[in-house]
Amino acid sequence: MKSDSVKTGVSQAPHRSLFNALGYTEEERRRPMIGIVCSYNEIVPGHMNLDKIAEAVKMGVAMAGGMPVMFPAIAVCDGIAMGHIGMKYSLVTRDLIADSTECMAKAHGFDGLVMIPNCDKNVPGLLMAAARVNVPTIFVSGGPMLAGHIDGRKRSLSSMFEAVGAVAAGKMTMEKLAEYEEKVCPTCGSCSGMYTANSMNCLTEAIGMALPGNGTIPAVYSARIRLAKHAGMKIMELVEKNIRPRDIMTREAFMNALTMDMALGCSTNTMLHLPAIAHEAGVELNMEIANEVSSRTPNLCHLAPAGPTYMEDLNEAGGIYAVMNELAKKDLLNLDLITATGKTVRENIAGCYNRNPEVIRPIENPYMQSGGIAVLKGNLAPDTGIVKRSAVLPEMMVHEGPARVFDCEEDAIAAITGGKIVPGDVVVIRYEGPKGGPGMREMLNPTSAIAGMGLDDTVALITDGRFSGASRGASIGHVSPEAAVGGPIALVHEGDIISIDIPANRLELKVSDEELAKRKAAWTPREPKVTDGYLKRYAALVTSGNRGAVLELPR
Residues that are catalytic: 468
- Indicate the residue type of 361: R
Measured CA to CA, the distance from residue 145 to residue 337 in angstroms comes to 31
DSSP code at position 9: S
Measured CA to CA, the distance from residue 373 to residue 302 in angstroms comes to 12
| Short-list 236, 247, 245, CA closest to 1 | 236
Q: Say how many C-beta atoms besides its own lie within 10 A of residue 330's C-beta.
A: 12
Measured CA to CA, the distance from residue 367 to residue 390 in angstroms comes to 8
* CB proximity list for 152: less than 8 A, separation 6 or greater: none
Beta bridge partners of 69: 35
In angstroms, the Cα distances linking 249 to 278, 305, 359, 548 are 8, 29, 28, 17
Measured CA to CA, the distance from residue 268 to residue 284 in angstroms comes to 19
What is the Rg, in whole angstroms, of the alpha carbon atoms belonging to the chain?
23
Measured CA to CA, the distance from residue 118 to residue 112 in angstroms comes to 20
Q: What string of DSSP letters covers 204-250?
A: HHHHTSB-TTTTTS-TTSHHHHHHHHHHHHHHHHHHHHT--HHHHS-
Measured CA to CA, the distance from residue 373 to residue 329 in angstroms comes to 21
SS (H, E, C) 330-390: CCCCCCCCECCCCCEHHHHHCCCCCCCCCCCCCCCCCCECCCCCEEEEECCEEEEEEECHH
